[in-house]
Structure 1
Amino acid sequence: MIKVAVVGYGLSATVFHLPFVAHAKQFSLVAISSSQLESVQKKHPRITVYADAQQMIEESSADLIIITSPNLSHFPLAKLALESGKHVLIEKPMTATSEQALSLAKLAQRQSLVLSVYHNRRWDGDFLTLAHLVKSAQLGKIKVFNSHFDRFRPIVRNRWREQPGAGAGILYDLGSHLIDQALCLFGAPHSLTANCAMLRDGATTTDYFQVMLHYTNMEVVLQSSPFSADPNIRFQLQGTKGSYIKYGLDPQEDQLREGLSPNVPAFGVEPPSAYGKKYIADGEGELLSVTKLQTMTGCYMDYYSQLAGAISNGLTVPVTALEGAKVIKLIELAELSSATKQRVEVDLTAFSNEAITPA
């Protein structure tokens, strides 16, 4: 049994982590740190609740520390946990800077500990479906990929994610998911071009972005807008034999918010009305078929199952520290491109096992 302690008790902890810790047989919750001390203790009377995260990391019997606190706290808390001999799971984005991320990756390697980043959107049903389409070459050679995470949130809210500072803004919050998914599908681009903006009245951090990843004979466009009130396009995949288009978001987040157990058969299952469509055409442009493509079942629980295997049996880490660090580096390059209004080269040589392994 892997004993777990969780830093923070906000949306990330209560919706995206604690339900899986509770329902995965490999884990046992032993502690939570939160400023809501009395409230958390009432909801979790059998565990130890700490007001101070540092004290919990140093004193608890946990094998795994899950960090769900604000982004700027990720680096110091993860560093402390690794130095204390604990495995670590960091909510995305991994850190505020790629330098911090690489530092943690090297520390975890020296300590022989598991360090993972929660890029759970790899286990969205629509992304699993998309990845299968790419791998099976049903659409031929992929030439264009559009990935959106749009919402209608025209009013700036008073929350830490929208306060100015390192690691803040929608590029870190949602862009990290889109970048990670693109890297999973196609690897690193050779260059990128980006436009990051503050479009809402009173905005103090990036609330809109468009990041173009440039590959040899392929273009990837990642975008998020706070002004999308229409049915949101999620993915559009274009290849030499056809295309695929998908609207809406994976159902798992809403199901978790509603309290649905991740162990019930309906979890992660999308209704037929939400399925994407696959279009196949011939070389002359004549449409041969239009197919409503069943969305594969999403399963964030798979992330936790793989994490347990990595900690207990040395199996593959579901999202490695270096993978999380690459995402942060691309975010930094996107910000640089936007600031300079120039295309920038992408070099991830430093983000490899060989590069961080001592000679």
Structure 2
Amino acid sequence: MTGTEGAPRTIRTAVVGYGLAGSVFHAPLLSANTSYSLDVVATSDAGRQASASSRLPGVGVVREGADVVRRAADLDLVVLATPPMTHYPLTKAALEAGLDVVVDKPFAVTSAQGQELIELAEQLGRVLTVFHNRRWDGDFLTLQKLLAAQALGRVTRFESRFERWSPAIAKAWKARATAADGGGVLFDLGSHLIDQALQLFGPATVLHAELQARRSDERADDDVFLVLRHQSGVISHLAMNVLCAQQGPRFRVLGSIGGFTKNGVEPQEPYIVAGGSPLDGDYGVEAPEWAGLLGRDGHLDRLPTERGNYPEFYRLLAARILDGGAQSSLPLPVNPEDAVEVLKIIERARELGVK
């Protein structure tokens, strides 16, 4: 770690990949937290190199992850915001170079790869975690609070959706990627939906899976519906679709004494895209008109949304690293074993998938 005698230590960090994940999530969140110094950004795209140099003055810009690994002696943490097929080799190389690692979701393209990386991190005494940031969506935090208060009674049905209208595949790697490469909406939005369901209601098995490729140039899947049965008894219906001209509720949850319905798009990502900062007072605050509806005893009441809090991921990670890293008893923001469970659900869904 850097820092002079008596000064707070700083986690010297590199971000590999400067597309949406690197530029809108990781770089702003790291820059907003004084426990980190963002020292290096790696991207092979000339336009993104120029953007990183302009938006992040003083940050070194290199072409690829290998360049970051070669600088490992001057770094503590690497954040991988690269396409899924690169996650396993880049994570392995970074761990072996002595770096702690954050991997964007999906953790890897197979659960076996994910488990191997966990075991390697343990052997090397490194911190490894996965950026399942949707655990800090405002609507998800609102639902967690409702469930903790048992406001819905015994939950029987959980419906969760990520639906968008994206008739064109905007990213070149996504246009080329098959499911074996980590392509498709099940790996992308599905990783979030599955992780949230498992966090809320515990371990689950796949009862039913539908996987479709609606767009003519889609090589994996862009319209997926899953049914999970949790050991807790809850049935989850998870829908993800990027060719959806009319979106359904983000959440619909039914319980023995009440229900909850939530519409709208989580505001943290569009806020940063529009030029805001995680340090702003209104960051993560949802407009009142998007409040969810809590239904009980024949009444519908508007329920204000909790403030979204993606910065919490990096706060928890800094606490863990600065407390001794892999030897610390402080919690990781996301246990990578959870991310492996997500991958196992995805693998089972592909085995059962109706096309």
TM-score by structure 1 length? 0.89
The one-letter code matched in structure 2 to 1:11 is L
Q: Is the 8 A contact 2:88 2:114 kept in 1?
A: yes
Partner of 2:280: 264
Partner of 2:301: 291
> 197, 210, 214: which is aligned to 1:195?
210
Shift of 1:70: 1.1
1:77 aligns with 2:86: no
Question: Relative to structure 2, which stretch is displaced further, 108-117 or 187-196?
Answer: 187-196
Q: Is the 8 A contact 1:236 1:245 kept in 2?
A: yes
Q: Return 5+ residue gaps in structure 2 as ranges.
A: 1-9
Q: Structure 2 vs 1, CA of residues 212 and 9 (structure 1 numbering), >3 Å: closer, same or farther?
A: same
1:4 aligns with 2:22: no
The one-letter code matched in structure 2 to 1:33 is A
The one-letter code matched in structure 2 to 1:184 is Q
Q: Structure 2 vs 1, CA of residues 272 and 76 (structure 1 numbering), >3 Å: closer, same or farther?
A: same
> 12, 18, 21: which is aligned to 2:30?
21
> 117, 120, 123: which is aligned to 1:110?
123
The one-letter code matched in structure 1 to 2:119 is K
Q: Structure 2 vs 1, CA of residues 268 and 45 (structure 1 numbering), >3 Å: closer, same or farther?
A: closer
Aligned length: 334
Partner of 1:59: 71
> 279, 284, 301: which is aligned to 2:311?
301
Q: Structure 2 vs 1, CA of residues 294 and 41 (structure 1 numbering), >3 Å: closer, same or farther?
A: closer
Q: Is the 8 A contact 1:94 1:324 kept in 2?
A: yes
Q: Return 5+ residue gaps in structure 1 as ranges.
A: 282-286, 342-359
SS in 1 for 2:114: helix
> 184, 199, 202: which is aligned to 1:169?
184
Partner of 2:4: none
Q: Provide the identity percentage.
A: 36
1:156-189 CA deviation, whole Å, 9 max, x = no partner? 4453123232211000000000000011001111
Q: Is the 8 A contact 2:209 2:226 kept in 1?
A: yes
Q: Is the 8 A contact 2:164 2:247 kept in 1?
A: no
Partner of 1:209: 224
The one-letter code matched in structure 1 to 2:295 is Y
**Residues in 2 aligned to 1:210 and 1:24: alpha-carbon distance in whole angstroms:** 37
Q: Is the 8 A contact 1:75 1:104 kept in 2?
A: yes
| TM superposition outliers: structure 1 runs of 4+ over 6 Å | none
SS in 1 for 2:343: helix
**Residues in 2 aligned to 1:134 and 1:87: alpha-carbon distance in whole angstroms:** 34
Q: Is the 8 A contact 2:223 2:243 kept in 1?
A: no
Task: Provide the alpha-carbon RMSD of the alignment.
Answer: 1.6
TM-score by structure 2 length? 0.90
Q: Structure 2 vs 1, CA of residues 158 and 87 (structure 1 numbering), >3 Å: closer, same or farther?
A: closer
SS in 2 for 1:99: helix
**Residues in 2 aligned to 1:181 and 1:225: alpha-carbon distance in whole angstroms:** 17
Shift of 1:265: 1.5
1:115-156 CA deviation, whole Å, 9 max, x = no partner? 010000000000000111112110100000000000112334
SS in 2 for 1:145: strand
Q: Structure 2 vs 1, CA of residues 226 and 59 (structure 1 numbering), >3 Å: closer, same or farther?
A: closer
Q: Structure 2 vs 1, CA of residues 226 and 36 (structure 1 numbering), >3 Å: closer, same or farther?
A: closer
Which aligned pairs between 1:125-144 and structure 2 lie closer than 5 A? 125-144=138-157
The one-letter code matched in structure 2 to 1:172 is F
**Residues in 2 aligned to 1:195 and 1:81: alpha-carbon distance in whole angstroms:** 36
**Residues in 1 aligned to 2:272 and 2:286: alpha-carbon distance in whole angstroms:** 14
Q: Is the 8 A contact 1:148 1:224 kept in 2?
A: yes
> 51, 54, 58: which is aligned to 1:46?
58
SS in 2 for 1:105: helix
> 79, 82, 106: which is aligned to 1:93?
106
**Residues in 2 aligned to 1:305 and 1:43: alpha-carbon distance in whole angstroms:** 22
Q: Is the 8 A contact 1:144 1:218 kept in 2?
A: yes
**Residues in 1 aligned to 2:149 and 2:157: alpha-carbon distance in whole angstroms:** 16
1:254-286 CA deviation, whole Å, 9 max, x = no partner? 0010121111110100111000000003xxxxx
**Residues in 1 aligned to 2:56 and 2:156: alpha-carbon distance in whole angstroms:** 50
Q: Is the 8 A contact 1:151 1:232 kept in 2?
A: no
SS in 1 for 2:318: helix
Partner of 1:347: none
The one-letter code matched in structure 2 to 1:52 is E
SS in 1 for 2:316: helix
Q: Is the 8 A contact 1:162 1:205 kept in 2?
A: no
